[in-house]
Chain A
Amino acid sequence: MNKNNFLTDLKNEYNKTNATDHLKMSGWSDIADKIGASGPFYKRIFMNYFARVSLALIALLVVFFGTYQIALAALPGEPFYPVKILSEKIIEEVNGNNQVTIDHRADEIIDLSKEQEINSQNLEQVVAEYKENVDQAKQDFEVTGESSTDFQDKLEEQHLEFERISSDNPEIEDEIGDAKEASEPEEEETDD
């Protein structure tokens, strides 16, 4: 039998199969109930004012936190660094202390010292800012009389880290000298 005749016959039989009476009579009305009276789902979302505002807010939050996360990892001279500085200023205002700024500068000292080609100028600037902030924090603790145990513990950790990186890379010993000095644990006063 000819191949084409065979397929034509089969196609004719195939085409005799139509949707059931049930589908022909009430298929569309069932679907119309399911898909609702308005537009498709993606359009309904955008037509609803509340949903539109919510989506815009979510998009803004995603952009904001995305930018913030990128900024947190930024080092001096990088495009997002000013965002990091701005965020520190806001947090300082909200918290009433500069602990976050000290942590960031300490992290930056560590990160900059790990770079293949160390930018001495940036490192010195970060170290200077670290020292300035640590001195400021110490001064604040003295004025307010608040317990500085946690702060001292943190400085000690940072000091140990600075010691480690300077022993790993003696070339930066001088650059981070002020940071090591600022983070050095205070000797406890004795009555002797």
Chain B
Amino acid sequence: MVEWVVMSDDYSKFVKKAIAGDKNAFAELYNLFLDRIYRFIYYLVEDEFLAEDITQITFVKAWNKIGMFSITKGTFQSYLYTIARNLVIDHQRKKKEISLELTIGENFKSDTNLEQNVLRNESMTKVRQSLSVLDEDDRQIIILRYFEDMSFKEIAAITSKKSGAIRVKVHRLLGILRKKLEGKI
């Protein structure tokens, strides 16, 4: 299995350089976090094209506001996930306003390899179905805690909630997920 957790020491030098205005260092950070940010967004919006757009905007915003990021106040990954989460929330708010209906069937146009797409589709469906019992806020918490291996403190920083409240919520959400797996929901 690929080690998905990027250790902070591995990329802190890139973060420091990016803060100093080094675009190449930011490109390294982009490559390190692209998959993680993309999939986080994808499982919230459930639309591939939209996830692509929001991912790109997340990185552009991260670059433009990097002067406001401080290594001492939080991790770079919290900073990125906070931007991504806020963009998703903005999008969902607008979506509600204009009642835009997005169809999952249109999700797989961009990839060319059909076999790869089918496998990919199966995984995505499995995860989506399991997470579908949770609302968007709860999905974020489960993804960040168990799929992105973040600490309660980091999740609290990203979701603007208290660490203790996240801990309690995670316990409750696990119960819901377990019931779903056992076919009780």
Which of A's residues lie within 8 Å of B, judged by CB? 1, 3, 6-7, 10-24, 27-28, 30-32, 34-35, 37-43
Contact B111 A12 (CB under 8 A): no
Given contacts A15-B2, A21-B112, 20 further A-B contacts (CB under 8 A): A6-B181, A11-B146, A16-B119, A17-B120, A19-B39, A19-B52, A19-B55, A20-B111, A27-B34, A27-B55, A27-B56, A28-B27, A32-B27, A34-B56, A35-B63, A38-B21, A40-B64, A41-B64, A42-B64, A42-B67
| Between-chain CB contacts (< 8 Å), 21 pairs | A1-B182, A6-B178, A6-B181, A10-B146, A13-B127, A14-B39, A14-B143, A14-B147, A17-B43, A18-B39, A19-B38, A21-B111, A23-B52, A27-B30, A27-B55, A31-B30, A31-B56, A35-B63, A39-B21, A41-B64, A42-B67
The one of A7, A13, A23, A35 that contacts B146, using a Cβ cutoff of 8 Å = A7
For A42, what are the chain B residues with a Cβ–Cβ distance below 8 Å? 64, 67
Known pairs A28-B31, A31-B60, A39-B21; A20 contacts B67 (CB<8 A)? no
State A10–B4 Cα separation when bound (angstroms). Answer: 14
Count A-B contacts at CB 8 Å: 108
Number of B residues near A (Cβ < 8 Å) is: 44
State A38–B30 Cα separation when bound (angstroms). Answer: 17
For A17, what are the chain B residues with a Cβ–Cβ distance below 8 Å? 38-39, 42-43, 120, 123-124, 127
CB of B160 within 8 A of chain A? Answer: no
- The SS class assigned to the B binding surface is helix
Contact A22 B52 (CB under 8 A): yes
The one of B38, B64, B112, B120 that contacts A35, using a Cβ cutoff of 8 Å = B64
B66-95 to A contact mask, C-beta < 8 Å, 1/0: 110000000000000000000000000000
For A11, what are the chain B residues with a Cβ–Cβ distance below 8 Å? 146-147
Contact B130 A10 (CB under 8 A): yes
Contact A23 B55 (CB under 8 A): yes
State A30–B34 Cα separation when bound (angstroms). Answer: 13
Which residue of chain B is the closest to A15 with respect to CB atoms?
Answer: B4
State A1–B59 Cα separation when bound (angstroms). Answer: 39
- B residues 108-147 in Cβ contact with A at 8 Å: 110-112, 119-120, 123-124, 126-127, 130, 143, 146-147
B96-118 to A contact mask, C-beta < 8 Å, 1/0: 00000000000000111000000
Contact A18 B38 (CB under 8 A): yes
For A21, what are the chain B residues with a Cβ–Cβ distance below 8 Å? 110-112
Which residue of chain B is the closest to A35 with respect to CB atoms?
Answer: B63
Known pairs A11-B147, A14-B143, A27-B56; A35 contacts B23 (CB<8 A)? yes
State A37–B177 Cα separation when bound (angstroms). Answer: 46
For B48, what are the chain A residues with a Cβ–Cβ distance below 8 Å? 20
For B23, what are the chain A residues with a Cβ–Cβ distance below 8 Å? 32, 35, 37, 39
State A16–B35 Cα separation when bound (angstroms). Answer: 10
For A35, what are the chain B residues with a Cβ–Cβ distance below 8 Å? 23, 26, 60, 63-64
